[in-house]
Amino acid sequence: MRHSRSSLILSLLLAAVCAGCGRGTDDDRATERAEVTTTPAEAVTPNAPQGPIQAVIRTPQGDFTIELRHEAAPVSCANFVNLVNRDFFDGLPFYRHSTVIRQVGNPHGDETRAWEPGYRLSPEFSPDLKFDRGGMVGMVRVADDVRAPVRANEFFVTTKPQSERFTFVYPIFAEVVDGQSMVNAIRKGEKILDIEIRGDPTPLLAEHADLIEEWNRRLDATPDPRD
């Protein structure tokens, strides 16, 4: 099931705040990924510093790596990691494709029908994150309105610099640090094979444990057209 790893991580996080809760068991798939180190939730001190978090996104064209800018967009990054832990993006196509973006995250797989995960996010902006180069990873608004929230389940990667008008319109939460040529080579309809988190996101997830619990409750209650 797509939410198996997320449920485990959430259980571990709740153990840090609920005295007497039992420890979770290791997820078999997580143990196969040696690069991922997850600190037990009970070992996380309040306001523990969050180290670098990267995500390796595997596609038919090859792998590319993004680094999450959690210091600038913490909620967006926590949401992304949670969806990755649920295997949400695995098998989803880059359904929107142009000379400037590669967009993914819609289980319907086309531009005629949007899918709602049961919740939306407020956009997070930082003056340090602009569409001034290729490889910026942004989120999609639900409407063409600067006041509109963003779709929690969708993201796009740019292939080259964008007009200044995109900055502070579409929020950025990550950037490509390796494999930009793979992004550029992706063809419309090609699917994400897998995403692997590298680094330990435990402090970030612990900080937003209440939100993650609510997100997962809504995701579990929302029909996924792939099921």
Does 13 have pLDDT greater than 80? Answer: no
Tell me the CA distances in angstroms from 52 to 42, 45, 166, 200, 202, one per residue in order: 20, 17, 26, 8, 11
- From the list 148, 117, 72, the residue with the least C-alpha distance to 214 is 117
Report the C-alpha gap between 138 and 130 in whole angstroms.
10
Whole-number average pLDDT of the chain = 85
pLDDT in tens, 64-109: 999 999 999 999 999 999 999 999 999 999 999 999 999 999 999 9
Does 12 have pLDDT greater than 60? Answer: no
Q: Can you give the residue ranges of every domain in the chain?
A: 4-221
The answer to whether the predicted template modeling score (pTM) of the entire model surpasses 0.85 is: no
Looking at the DSSP assignment, which residues form a beta bridge with residue 136?
175
Please identify, in words, the CATH class of the domain defined by 4-221: mainly beta
Are 159 and 186 in contact by the 8 Å Cβ rule? The answer is: no
pLDDT in tens, 154-196: 999 999 998 887 888 999 999 999 999 999 999 999 999 999 9
pLDDT confidence tier of residue 19, bands split at 50, 70 and 90: very low
Burial of 220 (0-12, 13-18, 19+ CB in 10 A): middle
